Amino acid sequence: MEGDIYFQKLLEGSRSKLESPIRNETFLKERLEKIWSIYFNDVKKLNEITIRFKGKWKNKFGHIHIKENKTTEIVINGFLRDSRVPEYIIDLTIAHELVHYSHGFQSPHPKLYKHPHAGGIVTKDLKKRGFIEQLKQERKWIKEIWQPIIKEEFQKSKRSRRFWF
Q: For residue 22, is it within any domain?
A: no
Residue 45 structural domain: 3-14+28-158
Q: For residue 153, is it within any domain?
A: yes
Q: For residue 93, is it within any domain?
A: yes
Q: For residue 95, is it within any domain?
A: yes
Q: For residue 154, is it within any domain?
A: yes
Q: For residue 148, is it within any domain?
A: yes
The pLDDT of residue 4 is above 70: no
* pLDDT of res. 151: 85
Nearest 10 degrees: Cα torsion 33, 102, 130, 80: 60
The pLDDT of residue 73 is above 90: yes
What are the start-end ranges of the E strands in the chain? Answer: 49-54, 62-66, 72-77
Q: In percent, how much of the chain has pLDDT > 70?
A: 82
Contact 73, 50 (CB under 8 A): yes
Of 7-21, 22-36, 100-114, 137-151, least confident by mean pLDDT is 7-21
d(CA 61, CA 48): 22
| Three-state secondary-structure class, residue 54 | strand
Per-residue pLDDT averaged across 47-56, rounded?
Answer: 95
Per-residue pLDDT averaged across 131-145, rounded?
Answer: 93
Q: For residue 165, is it within any domain?
A: no
132-141 and 3-11 helices cross at what angle (nearest 10)? 90
Considering only CA atoms, which of 55, 36, 48, 89 is closest in space to residue 72?
48
* pLDDT of res. 150: 86
Total tally of structural domains belonging to the chain: 1
* pLDDT of res. 136: 95
* pLDDT of res. 16: 37
Q: For residue 163, is it within any domain?
A: no
d(CA 76, CA 51): 7
pLDDT digits (tens, 9 = 90+) for 76-127: 999 999 888 999 999 999 999 999 999 999 999 999 999 999 999 999 999 9
* CATH value at residue 136: 3.30.2010.10
pLDDT band at 161; cut points 50, 70, 90: low
| One-letter amino acid for residue 5 of the chain | I
